[in-house]
A and B are shown apart, each in its own frame.
Chain A
Amino acid sequence: MSSLNSTIFKLAGLALLACVPLTGESFYVELAAKTLVLAIFAMSLDLLVGFTGLVSFGHAAYFGVAAYSVALLSPKYEAASLWYVLPASVGLSALAALVVGLFVLRTKGIYFIMVTLAFAQLAFFVFHDTPLGGGSDGIYLNVKPTAAIAGWVPFDLDNATHLYYFILGALVVVYAFLARILQSPFGRVLVGIKSNEHRMQSMGYLTFRYKLAAFALAGGLGGVAGFLYAVVFGFVTPELLSWHQSGNVLLMVILGGMGNLVGAIAGAFVFTGMQEVFGNWTKHWQLVMGCVIVAAVLFMPGGLSAVPGRIKRALQGGGSNE
């Protein structure tokens, strides 16, 4: 896809998303909001999986840490300030990722997958089995954070439309942030590490530090998603940190096509869309969904983001390589 086409495509997608609240159907607005949150989550994981070559199977831990932080940092019957609780929860999830990264990044390949999973399970049980997290029932966030600055309220997160646009804004900001970082010398090093880490080292890059920075950054951005999730649903449970959640977001990234931010967003939409459609259709929706995902991986290498290029090649007769 040429860059002009791709920009038009992105703006059209954004306009479409911006129109969702106009339908006035609160069910669909909430579903779209949830999907946008998962799209942010998927983009944060794609920084690791698709751009740095680190397949983390425990990314839900940072999502959950931020979600629990919102619930724990908010007073029980009063609204916390958004401007305090958002940076705090994102900071805590980035910090958690930084600490975990120090350990897990010493491993590679399948061991990395297993060790990230192990740390995520550890975090799961911290919230599940200690008084801190309120057990398997989780914690209610009775009052959503307020955006008030010295008495002035720019928007109200209790208003579903405001909340939706706030999340859409967060998606745009996270996308722009990641797209920009990937063009920086730092981002180029991450992509180089994915391609050939050994060579990066022999050219003088201390790759561990770069990977650690990427891991903490991805944890923090996953935390943005976790924060938003807690605000949308008003409660947090240990399930947010479970390995199902880590697996789901990994599937979104794979479905969308690793190493493509728009692909990650598309992956989140297709994944939640399938959950809804198959869920309404049959009790055994997970079985159907599993088959679809296996088929997608087999017949759609490169994921959704590779589809436009394939269509283009097919239209051009498939013969030319240029």
Chain B
Amino acid sequence: MSEIINPGLAATVGTPAAAGEILLVAERITRRFGGLVANQDVCVTLPRGKVHVLLGPNGAGKSTCINMLSGDLPPSEGTIHFMGKDITGLSAAQRSQVGIGRSYQRTNIFPKFTVLENVRLAAQSRRQQPWRIFSRAMKQQWALDKARACIEEAGLGAKVDWIAGVLSHGEQRQLEIAMVLATDAQVMLLDEPLAGMGSDESARMVEVLKRLKPSRAILLVEHDMDAVFAVADTITVMVNGQVLESGPPAQIKASVAVQQAYLGQEDSFHV
């Protein structure tokens, strides 16, 4: 089993890694479900230190795109490279091991475990040692420390010992972020992390994203326009499974095509 040993918490608090280094490149990825083309020739480049936002109305193919990048869905065509290595054929678990982490649109946690155990399991995944069946998980101090630090980072410090299932929706989203953090993900794929959050919670999450940004590459699917324009370096607008336009926020704001296809339709906003 491959092991990736990370130097403790360095990655969580921001290493002086080469900003701008290209971490993930997806080239012309296409996904078909029978006759339906959910994604067609989508290209995404994620450099370290940048937040790339995927925008688009419901059904535009944003989640399909994330699923292909994370390994949950194999692309029908196209290639995905991580730090120069072709990872198109890797499973979700293998991609997590190389450094791609994701959160889900619909909260995906261990509802019966404590917050700490949810994140501790994520931390443990970096040094699995499954053969050590007589060691005690709760005595692996490095994993506990890491989990606590990530919980703190995601703003859940006061709820470490709570059962995850009883947390509020927004807190469960924060827990998801803590779990992604604990896997030392270099590339974070976040599917609507602000969905269902109150304004305080959203504001805090935006702060978390800004803090994480310098050391990682982040792909964000989000409908909350205030948050999008607060954190985005690049915005890609998708419509009907295709990229309509991609560029810096100012370009997207000014784009006539985007306004017609998406921003113009007030009813397609989810604010």
Contact = CB atoms under 8 A, between A and B. Distances in A.
B5 interface: no
Interface residues of B, number: 40
A204 B136 contact: no
Contacts of B122: 203
A235 interface: no
Nearest to B112: A195
Interface stretch (B23-31, B88-96, B207-215): B88-96
B121 A203 contact: yes
Contact of B102 (A181, A202, A205): A202
A201 interface: yes
Contacts of B16: none
Contacts of B140: 185
A195 B164 CA distance: 12
Given A203-B125, A204-B97, A204-B183, A184 B110 contact: no
Nearest to B71: A202
B93 A207 contact: yes
Nearest to B122: A203
B124 interface: yes
Interface string B78-117: 0000000000000111101100011010001111110001
Given A202-B102, A204-B125, A204-B183, A209 B130 contact: yes
B121 A192 contact: yes
B254 interface: no
B271 interface: no
A246 to B, nearest CB: 26
Contacts, number: 92
A9 interface: no
A237 B128 CA distance: 42
A58 B270 CA distance: 50
A209 B110 CA distance: 20
B72 interface: yes
Given A204-B183, A207-B93, A189 B133 contact: no
Contact of B108 (A180, A181, A188, A196): A196
B96 A196 contact: no
A300 interface: no
B110 A192 contact: yes
Nearest to B98: A204
A205 B137 contact: no
Given A203-B179, A204-B183, A206-B1, A188 B92 contact: no
Given A203-B96, A203-B122, A183 B110 contact: no
A252 B70 CA distance: 41
Given A185-B129, A204-B93, A207-B93, A199 B136 contact: no
A201 B130 contact: no
B70 A202 contact: yes
A196 B109 contact: yes
Nearest to A202: B92
A201 B93 contact: yes
A175 interface: no
A25 B104 CA distance: 62
Nearest to A207: B93
B138 interface: yes
Given A202-B72, A203-B122, A209-B1, A181 B110 contact: no
A74 B128 CA distance: 41
B87 to A, nearest CB: 13
A209 B135 CA distance: 19
B103 to A, nearest CB: 9
A108 interface: no
Contact of B110 (A180, A187, A195, A204): A195
Interface of A: 180-181, 183-189, 192, 195-196, 198-207, 209-210, 213
14 contacts: A183-B136, A184-B132, A185-B140, A186-B133, A188-B124, A199-B110, A200-B121, A201-B96, A202-B70, A202-B96, A202-B102, A204-B93, A204-B183, A205-B125
Given A185-B143, A189-B121, 7 more contacts: A184-B133, A186-B130, A189-B124, A195-B110, A202-B108, A203-B122, A209-B130
Interface of B: 1, 70, 72, 91-94, 96-97, 101-102, 104, 108-113, 117, 120-122, 124-126, 128-138, 140, 143, 179, 183
